[in-house]
Amino acid sequence: MPSKARTRSASKDGTGPKSSRTRERILDAAAHVLSRKGYSGTRLGDIADQAQLQAPAIYYYFGSREELIEEVMWTGARRVREHVSGILAELPPETGPMDRICAAIEAHLHVELELSDFATALIRNSGQIPEELRTRQLAEEAEYGKLWRDLFRDLDEAGELRPDLDLRVAHLLVVGALNWAAEWWNPKRGTFESVVRTAQSLVRHGLSSRSQLIEPAKEAVPRPRRKPARRTP
């Protein structure tokens, strides 16, 4: 039978089931508060209230407010990359470059606007977080940036990108516009589906060479089944 000291140590390290669940609850609460109040407005007391814990309990899992926020930002960046990468990996091998971009657009908007608060917290606070807290976040974002560069490079190499466009600028503008949706989208004023359709149409018709637009644009690919939203109420 394990000693009390070992049991306590395992719990504090997050290896015990109950401890892991509590840690996840704190992270979810922190993402919720951070996505709404921003870096400067996020207080441990607010996070504790959201997690239905006493504020001192947070220090059992995270050494400081900054450590907790760093974890939220890294988790947000990782979840965005993993979700979009996963959707792209499920596409049929014959899926064309533009259809892959359109699938990535829907996947990005889905995780940003519907799946959780982590992506919203990431996007809304990237410019506010001190540099010393962004090392892991920036590494994830670099990987995600490569994913989008590869998508646009494939489009260009297939001869489907308008020749008058700057490849790098086009990629940065598209991803920047997708990120900005977290600031203005309100489900009471329009459906998620309409945001996706509009974004895909703008990108398809704005980037495609004339030869690719002879036929009417079709829906990119059969949409993967969307999981229920996980946002904290």
188: containing domain: 70-213
Q: Is 151 inside a domain boundary? A: yes
Backbone angles phi and psi of 208, in degrees to 5: -70, 140
pLDDT at position 231 = 53
pLDDT band at 19 (very low <50, low <70, confident <90, very high): confident
C-alpha closest to that of 103 among 4, 35, 185, 203: 203
Q: Is residue 35 part of a domain?
A: no
Indicate the burial class of 63 (C-beta count within 10 angstroms; 0-12, 13-18, 19 or more). exposed
Q: Is pLDDT above 60 for 2?
A: no
Q: Does the pLDDT value for residue 111 go beyond 50?
A: yes
Q: Quick one: pLDDT at residue 16?
A: 63
**Domain CATH for 131:** 1.10.357.10
Confidence of residue 116 (pLDDT cuts 50, 70, 90): confident
The pLDDT value given to residue 11: 40
What pLDDT is attached to residue 119? 87
For residue 50, tell me if it sits in a domain. no
User: Is 128 among the domain residues?
Assistant: yes
Residue burial 199-213, b: 16+ Cβ < 10 Å; e: rest: bbeebbeebbbeebe
Taking only the tens place, the pLDDT of each residue in 69-108 is 999 999 999 999 999 999 999 999 999 999 999 999 999 9
Q: What is the b/e burial string over 171-189, where b = at least 16 CB atoms within 10 angstroms of the residue's CB?
A: beebbeebbebbeeeeeee
Model pLDDT, residue 212: 55
CA distance linking residue 113 with residue 57, whole number of Å: 30
pLDDT for residue 171: 93
Number of domains in the chain: 1
For residue 161, give the 3-state DSSP assignment: strand
Q: Is residue 33 part of a domain?
A: no
> Could you tell me where the beta strands, DSSP code E, fall in 62-216?
none
Cβ atoms 90, 99 nearer than 8 A: no
CA 187, 203, 196: angle at the middle one, nearest 5? 20
**Cβ neighbours around 109 below 10 Å, total:** 21
Write a three-state SS string for 100-118.
Answer: HHHHHHHHHHHHHHHHCHH
Tell me which residue has tokens 């140590």.
9
Mean pLDDT of the chain: 83
Q: For residues 40 and 34, what is the distance between their CA atoms, to the nearest angstrom?
A: 9
Assess if residue 15 is contained within a domain. Answer: no
Looking at the predicted structure, is the pLDDT value of residue 223 above 80?
no
Give tens-digit pLDDT for 166-220: 999 999 999 999 998 888 888 888 889 999 999 999 999 999 876 555 444 444 4
Burial class from Cβ neighbours inside 10 Å (0-12, 13-18, 19+) for residue 225 reads exposed
Residue 148: predicted pLDDT: 96
Question: What is the per-residue pLDDT for 46?
Answer: 92
Residue 101 tokens, joined: 């971009």
Position 233 pLDDT exceeds 90? no
Look at residue 123 and tell me if it is in a domain.
Answer: yes
Max distance between CA atoms of the chain, in angstroms, equals 73
* pLDDT higher than threshold 70 for residue 225: no
Q: How far is CA 44 from CA 84, 135, 177, 199, in A?
A: 31, 22, 32, 37
With respect to residue 135, please indicate whether it lies within any of the assigned structural domains: yes
